[in-house]
Amino acid sequence: IFTRKKSLREHQTVHTGARPYSCQTCAKSFSTASNLRVHKRSHSEERPYKCDECDKAFKCRMGLLQHRVVHSGEKPFTCPTCGLSFGLKYNFQRHLRLHSGEKPFRYENDHKSLLFIVIIQIKMQLQCVKGNVYQSNTFCTLNSTTYAAKAKTYM
């Protein structure tokens, strides 16, 4: 039950698949005016969600909520394998893939995708080394210098 007709109409787009709201900048379409409004911030510098404890500001509410963990210091997600703790569930889940070897993201064999994979591997390798949990079997045997050299060949 909806209190406004507009809310019912917007909800009905879930069932019809209609996306009547289009972005004037990139032509991406959305099912609700609210989703379009949030998307428009990606094309601007508007950051209406401001942190009370520092100067950071965010384009969406979720960004601010996730940022607050930085100030609280709370890290409720602990890796059962190496003991590293994380404030965000997403970062924790991403970390767990280091130990499991899971690679859920496939890539096409093109230059942009390969460069992306190389950069991500470098970042993850450096994260692990900093956290003193580097496992030699987690990554390709190439070292970071070789990765960087390979990345330049695809630029």
- Give the tens place of pLDDT for each residue, 49-104: 999 999 999 988 888 988 888 899 899 999 998 899 998 888 898 888 888 877 76
For the ranges 11-25, 34-48, 58-72, 105-119, which has the lowest average pLDDT? Answer: 105-119
User: 100 and 135 share a domain?
Assistant: no
User: 69 and 93 share a domain?
Assistant: no
User: 92 and 57 share a domain?
Assistant: no
User: 131 and 112 share a domain?
Assistant: yes
More confident residue, 44 or 151: 44
pLDDT above 70 (res 34)? yes
pLDDT value for 152: 46
pLDDT value for 154: 39
Bridging pattern class, strands 85-86 and 77-78:
antiparallel
pLDDT value for 79: 92
pLDDT value for 7: 84
In the chain, the number of structural domains is 4
Domain with residue 14: its CATH number is: 3.30.160.60
**Tokens describing residue 101:** 């070897």
For 4-143, strand residue ranges (E) read: 21-22, 29-30, 49-50, 57-58, 77-78, 85-86
Eight-state DSSP code of residue 32: S
**Tokens describing residue 59:** 């384009």
The residue range of the domain holding 134 is 105-155
pLDDT value for 23: 93
